[in-house]
Structure 1
C-alpha cells in the first residue's frame, strides 16, 4: 500500500494521467494508446476468515472473508464453494481480480456480488487516506457502483470483505442451471454449482481455454438494457410478436430488463457475424472478438453498427460494458 501512495505522488508531481488496472479482462484500449501511468494493482496476501462453525464457541449464522484485491477471483470462488458455503458460486469462471468485483458489481447466473459484500477497503485519491466503504456507500446497482459512475477514478480498491450466510442453500434461478440439473433433486452443493457454471461458460466461449477459438473476448460486450415496461408493446409490434414471447425480467417500478443478446439476434447480429477483422463469437452473441488483426477502430465500428441498428429498430441504446482506455 505504501507503493500505491508512491505511485500517486509520482503522477501528481509530473501532472500525468493515471489509470488503475486490475486483471485487464474487461478493457478495450484505443489504437492511440494511453499517455500516462498504468498502475497494475495486484496486492496479494492471506485471506482472513472470521466466524463459521467452531466447536469451542456458539454456532454462527454467517462467515466473513477479508480478501486482498489482487487475488484471482475464480480462485476465491472455488475456495468458498469447496468450504460448502453458498453466495458466490454462480460467479465462477469470471476472469480478473477480487478488487475488480465491486467496481462493476459483477453478476452471472442469478447472482450479483453486491449481495455478499460487507465493505470495501480503498485508497481515496482525493484525501490520500485509506478508507472503508460499506456496501450501502458503494451504491450498487445492475453492473454499477460509485466506482464506475459517480466516483469514477476516485478510489483504488485494496481489499474486499464478504459476508456469507452459513444457512443459505444454492438457488437455481437461471434457466441454464435449471436445465443442467434437471432431475438431480435438491441436494446440490455450492461446489456442484461452481463446476456447472464453468462448464456452461465453457460451452458459450466465456471461459478462457488455451488453444480454443472464440474464447478470448472482454466477456459480454453490452449490458442488458433496463427500460420502461411500456417499450414491451412497441417491441412486440415491431416484431409482430405477442408480449409474452419477449424474454424480460422486472427491474423496479415500471422497469424491465431485456436480454441484450436477444435484441442483437432479432436485428440480424447472430453468432459468427463478421465485419472485417472484428466479429461476434460463434459461441456467444454478446462476445465481440478480434478475428486476428482487428484494431480498436474495427471493434468500435462493429460496436457502433450494432448500437445504431438496435436503436433504429427498438429505440433502445445499448451500453458498452468493457472499460475504454484512451481517446
Structure 2
C-alpha cells in the first residue's frame, strides 16, 4: 500500500507493511512503527516508509458527570475528531465548538495541541492516557505534565528529540461544560462572522456552523472534489518571536498566552505566517508548476493539485520559506510531521 492512500495530502510512497489497531492492547503491541490516525498532519516521502505502519482504529467514548455543571469524557485515540465535536454539542456540552471541521483523530490532537479560531485542545483536555514505549508502562499525563505550547506539547517534543514516538496516545480525557452557550469568542474573524463582540458567548451550534463555513471558504474542510483540500491544512505555524522583534508596522501581532496558566508572556509575540507569505509575494494559487500550489483560497495551505509528489510539495515549501526569510528575516517552521523527508535542500 502507498501511504498516499492514508494521508489527506494524498502523497507518499509504499509502506513496509500496514496493520490496524482496534484496541488499546493491539496499539501497545506495536513498536518501531509509524502511527497513522486520520493522516491529516503527515507529509510522507515519495520513497515511503520502510517499516511497519499502524493505523489507529480504536473507538469508544466513556462519559461521567461531575458534581459541578461539567462532564468528563474519555475518548479512545482512534475516534474521528470532528465526529466527537458534533457529538459533544448534540449532548449539550460546550468547549470544542470552535475546533469544528478539523480533520484527523482524537489521539493526534494533544500531540500538536490542535487549535483554531482562538481555541486549543489544551483548553479542554484534563489528561491523556499514554503508553510509554521506553518503560513499558501506561501513564496518565495531566495538563501540566503535557507541557502544552503553541502547536506543540511534551508528546511532540519528545518524539522530535529522540527521533521516535515515546508516548503512544491511547485515550484523551476532556472536561467540558454542560451548556448550549459557547466558550467566549476569542477570534476576531469568528466574532465578525457571528456578528458579536469578542468575549461574547453564543449558541454552540451557531459557532459550529460559522466555523465550518469559514473553514470551507479557506479549503480547510475535506472535500475529495476540491483540490484545495488535498493538503495538511496550515503548512507553516505562526512564528513566535521576541517581543522586541522588528516587524513591519502593518504586520498582525498577537499575544502569546500560557495555555496552562492563561497568563500572557510579555517577552514574546506571535505574528501571522499567512500575512508574511502573502506580503513576501506569494499569492493564492502560487506554484512552481501545476502539480503543487498554494491553495486558491488561503495562502497558508500547500496543496496537491492532483498529480503532485512529496518532492513537489517540499520544493514549494522551500521556495516560500526562503522567500519569507529573504523578505523579513523570519524562518517559518512546518506544522505537519515530515516522514522520511525534510525541508533541508
TM score, norm. by length of structure 2? 0.83
Q: Quickly say closer, same or farther: Cα 1:258–1:2, change in 2 above 3 A.
A: same
CA apart distance, 1:99: 0.5
Matches within 5 A, 1:30-179: 30-45=45-60, 47-51=61-65, 60-152=68-160, 153-166=165-178, 169-179=182-192
SS at 2:307 equivalent: coil
1:123 touches 1:157 (CA, 8 Å); kept in 2? yes
Specify which of 19, 30, 34 is matched with residue 7 of structure 1.
30
2:158 touches 2:166 (CA, 8 Å); kept in 1? no
Specify which of 285, 288, 295 is matched with residue 299 of structure 2.
285
CA apart distance, 1:175: 1.8
Q: Which residue of 1 aligns with 2:279?
A: 266
What's the CA shift string for 1:112-164, capped at 9, x where partnerless?
00111111011110012221111111110000011111345101111000012
Q: Any runs of at least 4 consecutive aligned residues in structure 1 with deviations exceeding 4 A, and if so which?
A: 183-187
Bigger share in strand: 2
Measure, in 1, the Cα distance between the counterparts of 2:113 and 2:286: 29
Measure, in 1, the Cα distance between the counterparts of 2:143 and 2:196: 37
SS at 2:174 equivalent: strand
CA apart distance, 1:187: 6.7
Specify which of 321, 324, 327 is matched with residue 310 of structure 1.
324
SS at 1:159 equivalent: strand
SS at 1:137 equivalent: helix
Instruction: Give the paired residue count.
Output: 303
CA apart distance, 1:311: 1.0
What's the CA shift string for 1:26-46, capped at 9, x where partnerless?
10011111111111122112x
Measure, in 1, the Cα distance between the counterparts of 2:115 and 2:44: 23
Q: Which residue of 2 aligns with 1:254?
A: 267
2:185 touches 2:201 (CA, 8 Å); kept in 1? no
Q: Quickly say closer, same or farther: Cα 1:224–1:203, change in 2 above 3 A.
A: same
Measure, in 1, the Cα distance between the counterparts of 2:338 and 2:145: 25
SS at 2:308 equivalent: coil
Measure, in 1, the Cα distance between the counterparts of 2:252 and 2:196: 24
SS at 2:135 equivalent: coil
RMSD between aligned alpha carbons? Answer: 1.9
Gaps of 5+ in 1: 9-16, 53-58, 237-242
1:84 touches 1:191 (CA, 8 Å); kept in 2? no
Measure, in 1, the Cα distance between the counterparts of 2:192 and 2:39: 32
1:72 touches 1:97 (CA, 8 Å); kept in 2? yes
What's the CA shift string for 1:157-202, capped at 9, x where partnerless?
1100001233674322212211111169967211111111111101
Please state if 1:25 is matched with 2:40: yes
TM score, norm. by length of structure 1? 0.88
Q: Quickly say closer, same or farther: Cα 1:222–1:187, change in 2 above 3 A.
A: closer
Gaps of 5+ in 2: 1-23, 257-264
